[in-house]
Structure 1
Amino acid sequence: MLPHSTLQTDFDRHAFGPDFTWGTATAAYQIEGAVDRDGRTPSVWDIFSKQKGKIKTGETAEIACEFYDRYESDLLLHKELGFNAFRFSLSWPRILPDGIGPQAGGRINEAGIAFYDRLIDHCLSLGITPWITLYHWDLPHALEQKGGWPNRKIVDWFAEFTNICTLAFGHKVKHWIILNEPLAFSVLGYFTGQHAPGRRSFRNLLPAIHHTALVQAEGGRIVRQNVPDAHVGTTFSCSPIDPFTPRDQAAATRVDALMNRLFIEPALGLGYPTRELPFLSGIAKKVAQPGDMERLAFDFDFIGLQHYFRAVVEQSYFMPYLWAKDVSPLRRNVQTITEMGWEVNPETMYRIIRQFGQYEGVKQIYITESGAAFYDTVQQGMVHDPARVSYHQDYLKSTLRAKQEGFPVAGYFVWTFLDNFEWAEGYRPRFGLVYVDFRTQKRIIKSSGRWFQQFLND
């Protein structure tokens, strides 16, 4: 356990109210492993991670945390820490090996359905409420070979995937998240090439954005149709955007439109932020079909905010479309940064909740991810991570401030439960409350996990 003095805070969980949700967040590709077992076929990340230079550490998620085999004991750890909700995603290629369902000539992998059935049942048996994310970046490679997200057919492919999943699990699971961070997989996957599938082309960008926004709404409609009393939302990675100097305000406004407004505003019926980002007008002119702009809107029950850091930007004539670039925390002489190079600034959690909470159509907000990677080491069989403890204490304090001011914050999901495969960064950045020795798969609850255990059980 942590020393008693380290555990002290000037608030407790009761300040958030009796109905506040406390959970952790995970993703199938980052923890499951078993990538070629029981009928699962490759995802775009399986292919991407094997390409030289794509993953900084040269690693893949073929084994990851072995959660596919260890979920029962792992969820017992989750229960021990005191969390009442577990957010996980469904692996699209584990459920539909061809990417497409029977309506399009594909097949359902019953072994994949059975795995998630067992996982859900185990959550429920432990008193842990399952929260399902339908898409957390693991597009079946078979669909990428057909064009992936820039292909208009993705709307139908995703609709059938959603239909199959909700009919299979909707009688047990009421909390559904349609997409995880649409900006990340559309822009980083199809424009900058930093994430899978690694395509770099402006030609791909607008179709990928538009089809993602359509899928976001269509998925919501299918969940609401198939799941009685569904609680349906979607999640956005979001950051307050500040100008480096007063003359950089226009650049900050453009970056804010891209990072924070691009997908929430179409869902709210406000359309794309084309005034700030004129290149988006190409969607209506070249990509959209009749009726699309109306189809973008969906009345979500909640919005998930995934917040880690703020961005400070300056004008740049070398960055097309945005004409802006990030000013690193090191250049700004920020004293507290994470292993990812992200600024730790708890005030920004309050600011981003306030920004999204001011939208008239946002009825409820969950922090569906927040966390920090630090250099964790095992000493005498223990992992002491006081910086991560402080991070969560301070970001929770800012969350509570927003809630007490009347913003509809209803839950906090820690990123993440287990150290895992952190996408293009490999296994080195550790965000977990539970340390994983990836050589032996041994689990060690960190001091941050013990802090939450005491906080949630007081």
Structure 2
Amino acid sequence: MQVEGSPYADGGGRSIWAAYEAVSGNIKDGSTNWVADDEYHRYAEDIGHMSELDINAYRFSISWPRVLPQGKGQPNEAALAYYDKLIDALLAAKITPFVTVYHFDYPDALQQQGGWLNADSSKWLADYAHLVASRFSDRVSNWLTINEPNILWGFGAEAGAMPPALKLESAQLAQGCHNLLLGHGRSVQAIRAAAKKPVKVGLPFAGTLSLPASNSAQDIAAARNASFSVEKRAIIPLQPAMIMMNNSWWLDPIYLGHYPTEGYKLFPSAEKLATPADMRLIHQPVDYCAINLYFAPTVKAGADGKPELVPDSPNAPRSHYGWAITPELLYWAPKFLAERYKKPVLITENGISLADAPAADGKVHDPQRTAFLNSYLGAFKRAHQEGVPLAGYFHWSLLDNWEFSQGYLERFGLIYVDRNTQKRIVKDSAFRYKEIIQTNGASL
């Protein structure tokens, strides 16, 4: 949705964003994703830029309603052929494709049947995953099931700030969450069953971890406890706290095979959902702990040892989006996740939104993003040097893209995109990223 544009080209179907973006005010700048970055037509140009920057892997999403306009049933051959061309072009450029099966663009036809509250919803996702794995697994070895289920369900079904724009009570939130987790488990099974060669599978989760205020054992323990406690969390400024914004409620079932028992205080109905058969289905073998990381609060140990929030300084640096800049997140989050879940950590998103614009010389000078790369990847390097098992890093994002409810207001890209002409300009930060890639971090 964020880069391809042309969602209805060649027989593509409607996603739940179609009706949402038609309502005035839902997309802050009034835009739609009908053009986005026009990668549907410009993928060859963008792969050329990846090669120029020595990027060796590209994470992209397959559009569910593009491939299955009704969400299930007869596939759209033209859509499958598009992804054939994209994958082949990446491989020809020696760039490894990492495929995300489902990334927010839920088919509207399935939403009309109850969406994630329908008892068959996990099977719908698994059938779609089986279809795309059958088609592409002769060339694609790395698969990601559901992008940020906590965000799509928390913002979409608890806060009503994303489609399907619902505000559900605890029992229905727990049911939809459980169905999403079942969808992940069934999709892992489906991908492995369809795979034509060995595959690696994971789920890219929006991490809401905490940082310790100091290196004291007490503060580190407080940060670890805060990271995995089940409680209402507000993750961005001016956003109400949400009960879906937890790490362990979603991740413990995937990696450990059970819900954290403290979570039943918030979700008492979930105890009946957590049958042994369902938990076995959710707890499929996965190959890495995939995580999207941007910012984190800092906590210290209170008088009783319990985590106590340390308020941000009024002068703390922030992105254009308003998110705090907290480089140490790429040290502590992989460390905490690897300790708890015993999997190598794959950073599937990490980046910064800035108010980028071409300068008088026609180039885009973005020293703040360059500093971001240096500091965050420096912390990631420290984690590696201390033996934290790491599986890789993907910067968000290659291109300035369509940022869902923010429209085109945020620019996350290493490459600037002119919204009127679609002209691409490689930013200064991209050349620094190339240097980090070429030296495998030695230049950090």
Tell me the TM-score normalized by structure 1.
Answer: 0.84
Distance 1:68 1:325, change over 3 A: farther
1:444 corresponds to 2:425: yes
Deviation at 1:107, TM superposition (A): 0.8
Deviation at 1:152, TM superposition (A): 1.6
Using the alignment, how far apart are the partners of 2:111 and 2:315 within structure 1?
A: 40
What count of residue pairs does the alignment treat as equivalent? 410
Corresponding residue for residue 344 of structure 2: 364
- Checking the alignment, whether the CA contact within 8 Å between 1:57 and 1:425 is kept in structure 2 is yes
Using the alignment, how far apart are the partners of 1:88 and 1:119 within structure 2?
A: 10
1:205 corresponds to 2:181: no
- Checking the alignment, whether the CA contact within 8 Å between 2:156 and 2:164 is kept in structure 1 is yes
Corresponding residue for residue 18 of structure 1: none
Distance 1:350 1:417, change over 3 A: same
Using the alignment, how far apart are the partners of 1:91 and 1:267 within structure 2?
A: 24
| SS of equivalent to 2:44 | helix
1:84 corresponds to 2:23: no
Corresponding residue for residue 81 of structure 2: 114
Corresponding residue for residue 55 of structure 1: 27
Letter in 1 for 2:291: L
Tell me the TM-score normalized by structure 2.
Answer: 0.87
Aligned with 1:417 (options 394, 398, 422): 398
Q: CA RMSD in A?
A: 2.4
Using the alignment, how far apart are the partners of 1:242 and 1:152 within structure 2?
A: 38
Between stretches 287-296 and 165-174, larger displacement belongs to 287-296
Alignment of 1:399-438 (within 5 A): 399-438=380-419
1:240 corresponds to 2:209: yes
1:393 corresponds to 2:397: no
Letter in 1 for 2:230: R
Using the alignment, how far apart are the partners of 2:104 and 2:187 within structure 1?
A: 15
Distance 1:328 1:188, change over 3 A: farther
- Checking the alignment, whether the CA contact within 8 Å between 1:44 and 1:140 is kept in structure 2 is yes
| SS of equivalent to 2:205 | strand
- Checking the alignment, whether the CA contact within 8 Å between 2:209 and 2:226 is kept in structure 1 is no
Specify which structure has the bigger relative contact order, considering alpha-carbon pairs within 8 angstroms and separated by 6 or more residues. 1
1:219 corresponds to 2:187: yes
- % identity of equivalent residues: 35
Corresponding residue for residue 144 of structure 1: 111
Using the alignment, how far apart are the partners of 2:333 and 2:128 within structure 1?
A: 32
Alignment of 1:10-409 (within 5 A): 29-100=1-72, 106-202=73-169, 203-227=171-195, 228-241=197-210, 253-255=229-231, 258-276=245-263, 278-285=265-272, 287=273, 291-311=277-297, 329=312, 332-359=313-340, 361-379=341-359, 380-409=361-390
- Checking the alignment, whether the CA contact within 8 Å between 2:230 and 2:248 is kept in structure 1 is no
Distance 1:243 1:171, change over 3 A: closer
Using the alignment, how far apart are the partners of 1:263 and 1:281 within structure 2?
A: 15
Distance 1:325 1:94, change over 3 A: farther
- Checking the alignment, whether the CA contact within 8 Å between 1:191 and 1:204 is kept in structure 2 is no
**What is the CA deviation profile of residues 95-153 of structure 1, one whole-angstrom value per residue up to 9, with x for unaligned ones?**
111101xxxxx211000100000000000111111110001111111111111112121
Deviation at 1:280, TM superposition (A): 2.3
- Checking the alignment, whether the CA contact within 8 Å between 1:90 and 1:133 is kept in structure 2 is yes
Task: Specify every segment of 5 or more residues in structure 1 that has no aligned partner in the other structure, as ranges.
Answer: 1-28, 101-105, 315-323
Distance 1:290 1:394, change over 3 A: closer
Letter in 2 for 1:375: A
